[in-house]
Amino acid sequence: MSRNDPMSRAAFSARVFSLYVMAVGAALVLVPNLLLGLFGIAPTGEIWIRVAGLIAFNLGIYVWVAAHHRPFLQASVYTRSLVFVVLTGFAVTGMGEPMLALFGVLDLAGAIWTLLALRADAQAAATGAAVGVAR
């Protein structure tokens, strides 16, 4: 996809997700206890929350850049669904705060959005190819 091509639905969903991940990452680096407090999670002085925030922020940048690559988008559907399963598991077993499940739900919602967008993009491409429309 060149810079002049319109953004696919799936790429748009990934870009929105990347902004969410960068925002959460930046908050965890700069003001982790503010973000944790908003979700009822106990404050921490541990450096690891800031390290996790840095990793999340960087991941958001990677998602932004990779948003036009279909194999990446397909893989992200599975990995974001896995985040839902694992974070919900942490909450259910008491290993983590129940609010962790909310972050998992947000990831699952994004994964479903991207999956549906990938299908819509494929359908649009097939319909366009079938009627001879150039993309």
Confidence of residue 58 (pLDDT cuts 50, 70, 90): very high
Question: Could you tell me which of 38, 37, 40 has the C-alpha nearest to residue 91?
Answer: 40
pLDDT greater than 90 at residue 51? yes
Confidence of residue 15 (pLDDT cuts 50, 70, 90): very high
| Domain segments of the chain as ranges | 9-125
Q: What is the pLDDT of residues 91-104, one digit of tens each?
A: 999 999 898 899 89
Q: Average pLDDT in the 57-78 region?
A: 96
CA distance 33 to 30: 9
Global confidence as pTM: 0.83
pLDDT greater than 80 at residue 22? yes
Torsion angle of C-alpha atoms 91, 97, 102, 106, degrees rounded to 10: -80
Q: Which of 13-17, 27-31, 34-38 has the lowest mean pLDDT?
A: 34-38
- Quote the mean pLDDT of the chain: 90
How many secondary structure helices (H) and strands (E) does the chain include? 5, 0
User: What was the pLDDT predicted at 41?
Assistant: 87
